[in-house]
Each structure stands twice: as structure tokens, then as C-alpha cells.
Amino acid sequence: MSVLIKADQVAKSYGSTQALKPSSFAIEEGRILGLIGPNGAGKTTALKAILGLTPFEGSLEVLGFNPYRQRAELMKDVCFIADVAILPRWIKVSQALDFVETVHPRFHREKAMAFLEKTEISLNKKVKQLSKGMVVQLHLALVMAIDARLLVLDEPTLGLDILFRKSFYESLLNDYFDEKRTIIITTHQVEEIENLLTDLMFIQHGKIVLHASMEAVADRYSEVMVTAEMREQGLAMSPIHTREVFGRHVMLFEDVPQEKLSALGELRVPSVADLFVGKMQGVSA
């Protein structure tokens, strides 16, 4: 697969604050990357650099372009959905379709209409008359109708109920994603997207602390439910994180052979949320 995004020592500072520390990574096409980090970790700064919304230090190529210097060319192949409504509240749904059709050469109106037909959104309704869930559905309809290679979703389902969130991600997978498209998702609801992801990137204090495929994560990290009598043996194997659940110790291990760990108790692949908590421990600013 070809590399869609290539970063070499990319960094960004705001005055004396280093929002993104020098980072190098590559993202291939046809992947769904979860960019996970707490508030203020550097996620938004990284996305702004990728989208050409801020200058940066180092080298960054997105679809072969320098995103900041060649943003107009880049955005022909990139779509973005943020956690805030960016459509004017006075505009009608039909007018939004007209506008995007006018400004974007790769917009296919019939695809947008096909998606909207699956919703309760009326073409004569104004954006201010739509619920937040409907506004997200309208955004998604507009985006999915654009033949773009990169889709960036920044907390796209923030504030929506679970039914809208589930419908959103199902539509994303079934009606949009294919092996030629790449999706970057940031969200705090990691448990809802982990089954969609092909790759993970954890960021904290502007530093990337993990970047791996989900297959590599499953091979590299193991979580063990350790019985009380095996606690000392488990601690001697240097878990990267330990927590207590119902009187038993759950230990997270990195790069320890499963054959050695199986003697301690029940083995499982950690969830993205548990892995995130474990990796964040001890990450200094």
C-alpha cells in the first residue's frame, strides 16, 4: 500500500508551549486510524498540521503535498468533520447540497441524496431546525458524497445519543470506507470505535507514545487477571500497569511471551481504553 501521510520530526510550538513534540510517523492508504489522547494532549494540533491549518516545523507530506503551502490542492482530496456544527444555521438542507455541488468538483449529489433518504431530514428544513444528530447526519451525507481519499473526523459524535453514534459509524463503514480511502478519528469514546480501527496512535503532552496496527497491539500487549497467590510472581515480571478488579489484580504486560504469562491467570488482549490508561501512566510533560 502507498503511504498517504508521511511525517518526519514534525513539531509545533505556541510561544514557549510545545504543543506537538518532534514526531515521525507514516499512515498508509486504506487504514482507519484512531488518534487517542486526553484534552490538551496535542491531537488537535496534529490534525491542524495534517489539514494545512497551521504552519509547523519539520517535514510533512499529505497525499504528496505540503499541507500548509499547498492546502488548496490538498483539500480536493480531503474531507473534515469536526465536533461543532460548521453549517450556517439559516441555510436549508437543499441549499447546502447546492453550495457543496458548486464549490467541490468531486461532489456527487445523487450519493448525498441516497444517504439523506435513509434519514428523517427534509430538504426544506433549515439547519437550525435540525437536531444535533441530524446535523451530523447531514455533514456525513455531504462528506460521503465527495470522492476524497482522506477523511478526518474530530470527535464527530460528541453529544449524540448511542443510537446516532452507532448509525454514524455503521454508515461510515458500509457506505464510505474502502481500501483506497483513509480515515483518521479522534474520540473520547474509544470503546465504540475499537472494532473499526486498523491502527492506533496514542498522544500525550504532545508526544506520540504508541503508533501500531491493531494486529501488532494484539501481539505485543497482554492483560492478565492474576489470582492473589500469583500476585508477587506477576509483579516480578514488571507489568506496565496494574489495577484491581473484584479483589483480583489485572496486569498489563508489554513484549512478554504469552507462554510465560499464562501461568499467572486468565490471558486476554487489552481493550483500547485499558491499554491507553496503562500507556499514559508515567508519561511526563
CATH (one of 3.40.50.720, 1.10.10.10, 3.65.10.10, 3.40.50.300) for 3-205: 3.40.50.300
Higher-pLDDT residue of 41 and 7 is 7
Dump pLDDT digits (tens) for 225-246: 998 888 899 999 999 999 888 7
Dump pLDDT digits (tens) for 81-108: 876 557 888 999 999 999 999 988 889 9
Query: In the chain, what percentage of residues exceed pLDDT 90?
Result: 55
Please give the Cα distance from 12 to 23 (Å, whole number). Answer: 10
Dihedral angle computed from the Cα positions of residues 44, 277, 189 and 84, in that order, rounded to the nearest 10 degrees: -20
What is the average pLDDT score of the chain? 89
| Number of other residues whose CB lies within 10 A of the CB of residue 105 | 9
Coil, helix or strand for 121?
A: coil
E-strand ranges in 110-240 read: 150-154, 182-186, 199-204, 207-213, 221-226
pLDDT band of residue 215 (cuts 50, 70, 90) is very high
Q: State yes or no: pLDDT of 79 exceeds 90.
A: no
pLDDT at 102: 92
Cα within 13 Å of Cα(215), Cβ side: 2
Q: State yes or no: pLDDT of 114 exceeds 60.
A: yes
| Number of other residues whose CB lies within 10 A of the CB of residue 283 | 13
pLDDT at 229: 86
Dump pLDDT digits (tens) for 159-200: 777 887 887 788 888 877 887 889 999 988 888 888 899 999
Domain boundaries, the chain: 3-205, 217-280
| Number of other residues whose CB lies within 10 A of the CB of residue 146 | 20
Could you identify the residue written with the cell 502507498? 2
Please give the Cα distance from 143 to 160 (Å, whole number). Answer: 19
CA 68 to chain centre: 21
